Amino acid sequence: MFITGNIHKGYEIKERFNEENIPIEVISMAFLEPDINDIEFVSKSKAMQAYETLKTPCFVIDSGFNILNYPNNPGYPGAFVRRSGISEDIDGLLDTLKDIEDRRCQFLDCLTFYDGTEFHCFYGVDEGSITYEKRGHENKAMRSSLWYVFQPTGSVKTLAEMTDKERLNRRDGHISAKEQFITWYKNEYEKTKRLIKKDISEI
């Protein structure tokens, strides 16, 4: 089960898991946001909240966005993307950065799977820079309006300008928490099936 407060994340996750033939259910849930600027801490908190509500193993993804040379506050907003409001005011963000030449930034993800006993965390990072204007179009996979101004390192397009295939097959060195989790889950699932099969054969 994937638990999220962002329906766009749900579309992206479900589509990718379906491609891997992994059954998945996406559930929308509102979370209490810890007042700590640390995506791992926040991700674990949300995974525990989801587990305590549903009483079943599940996973969540928490994201951060660092603007390395944000005026008077390097690294802003970090884990506080939602409460900062920058993704709802892209024009305001561009105005704030209009005189900034070093526009490097990064998306950070922490995917946490919690089974009621152990946390399994997977980390993703996308390096890039902020463009000087909005570019691209909305689509169902869009997780944030920041996609309009986030141009991955080595790319000439923003995430919002790319097709789904282009985003999936990027070769810009990005690390996907989701892909790491899929690999881990499939390996763990296969291992569990082998153990069950062995146990049954010994009965």
- Rounded distance between C-alpha atoms, residue 159 and residue 175, angstroms: 15
Query: Which structural domain range is residue 156 located in?
Result: 2-201
How confident is the model at residue 197, as a pLDDT?
54
How confident is the model at residue 5, as a pLDDT?
86
Task: Give the global pTM.
Answer: 0.83
How confident is the model at residue 192, as a pLDDT?
65
Phi, psi torsion values for 22, nearest 5 degrees: -105, 115
- How many structural domains comprise the chain? 1
How confident is the model at residue 199, as a pLDDT?
53
CATH number at residue 39: 3.90.950.10
How confident is the model at residue 193, as a pLDDT?
60
Residue stretches of the chain with pLDDT short of 70:
192-203
How confident is the model at residue 83, as a pLDDT?
86
Q: Tell me how crowded residue 106 is: count the other CB atoms within 10 A of its CB.
A: 19
Q: Check residue 136 and give left, alpha or beta (phi > 0: left; psi -120 to 50: alpha).
A: left
How confident is the model at residue 70, as a pLDDT?
96
How confident is the model at residue 201, as a pLDDT?
54
Phi, psi torsion values for 70, nearest 5 degrees: -60, 135
Contact (CB, 8 A) for 57 and 118: no
